[in-house]
Amino acid sequence: MPGTARRGRRPGAPDTRADILEAARALFAEQGFRRTTIRAVAGAAGVDPALVHHYFGSKEDLFVAALALPVDPRQVIGAALAGGADGAGERLVRAFLSVWDDPAYRPHLLGLVRGVLEPEGHRLLSEGFLPAVVLPAVDALGVDQPERRMALVASQVAGLILLRYVLEAEPLASMEPDAVAAVIGPTIQGYLERPLP
């Protein structure tokens, strides 16, 4: 019928999964996580929304896939915070360093950081990664004001990324991971537990 959208895979067997990811990256960067819908991604990729769900599941899963990270950050953060709020700051720093210090992961992660600094790229972080990945993990700790605490934790982690991995500022760039965790972990712990003004 004229005007009826075709369902499922497009004719010609293109790389539909890659097209969906490309559309998702563009929309998440342009509109942020909250305003991007599965239906909009499907429309931009020229497929039925059911096909997006088939390939990626939830919008959160699509977002993480669109980031093309070498590891699922939800698993890394979730495992670090699974032990509860007590000691979570140091566990989080150790988990973070274990991923970033891996030479197989670092080039990709640096590319992602540079992409976030591009025009509109900041939305992938502020309107995507933080609310879709970090906030649920912080919220699961049962702390008050999880959005404010998440932003404070993210500010510390962003500073660590910039100085240790992007600018390679000494002595932070060459500090042993245990030393970094011992110094920065308590600061993050404070962001998670101390009363906020």
Domains in the chain: boundaries: 16-67, 73-193
Report d(CA 70, CA 73) in Å as an integer.
Answer: 9
- CATH number for the domain running over 73-193: 1.10.357.10
Look at the alpha carbons of 159, 165, 168, 170 in this order and tell me if their dihedral is positive or negative: positive
Q: How far apart are the first and last CA of the chain?
A: 61
59-67 and 73-81 helices cross at what angle (nearest 10)? 110
pLDDT digits (tens, 9 = 90+) for 109-140: 887 777 777 666 677 777 777 877 788 888 88
Fold of 16-67: Arc Repressor Mutant, subunit A (1.10.10)
Say if pTM beats, i.e. exceeds, 0.85.
no
pLDDT digits (tens, 9 = 90+) for 68-89: 777 888 888 888 888 888 899 9
Report d(CA 22, CA 16) in Å as an integer.
Answer: 10
